[in-house]
Chains A and B, each alone.
Chain A
Amino acid sequence: MAIAQARNVDPALIQRTLAQHKPQIRFTLAVCAHCSMCAHSCFLYESRREPKYMPSHKMIHSIGYLFRKKGNVGLQELHSIGNIVWNRCVLCMRCYCPLGVDIPYMIGLARRICREQGVYRLYDEG
């Protein structure tokens, strides 16, 4: 599915949103034990069996990446995150973490950051 492409990135806007959720993101990244228990709660992972569909993988490579980079990402990186959060996740909110990480919330946050930069899914293009 096509993703709307941004013309440029506004790191200050990303940093603002990251700052608003800093405690939750920091907690998430510290607590995730990479146990992959969440994998089986994702129907996309269950049907494709590719690690890139694991909820933890999607979370770490979207919001985790943005957080580690402190919002300083380029267009290509932002579009790659857009691809993860829209094309590899439908936000069905059924993913489950035994350690209590709110994975859908984190992926929703990555989507929010992408939307703020003009990167979002286009449903009228293939």
Chain B
Amino acid sequence: MIMIKNIIALILLCSTVNIYAQSDKTFIIKGNSINNENIQNSGKLDISKISVVNVSNKAIFLEWKTVSNTFPKEWDCSMCQHGACQIGIPKGSVFKKLNPDQEGFIAIHVIPKKNIGNGQVMFKIYDRDYPEEFEILTFNVDVL
């Protein structure tokens, strides 16, 4: 009977530790997670950037995935992440190592080529060691 109680206690302890570890967020968004941008159709969006910060006490690697992209196909666009600038907006990639307290970012660039319209691109970002603890970064662009 004592043996069973000990096993149950051990399972509960492990579960608690696991839950604690899972909720231990290693990064936060600095500022707003949604950027709303308005640009003229003859111009371009040089950069729209959302930053994140490593709030843990160890180096982390943040992965990201494009979860949706409704930018008109006539627009010419690309994105940068901490450590690399991509050609176009790919499906996903990983940040360069982010040390404690260090900032990283995801940014987009748009040349609408005189095409009026609007679109939204959303990125899911997470620590690769804790993929269930993610954030969504959203860029809304209106070309007038």
Q: A and B: real partners?
A: no
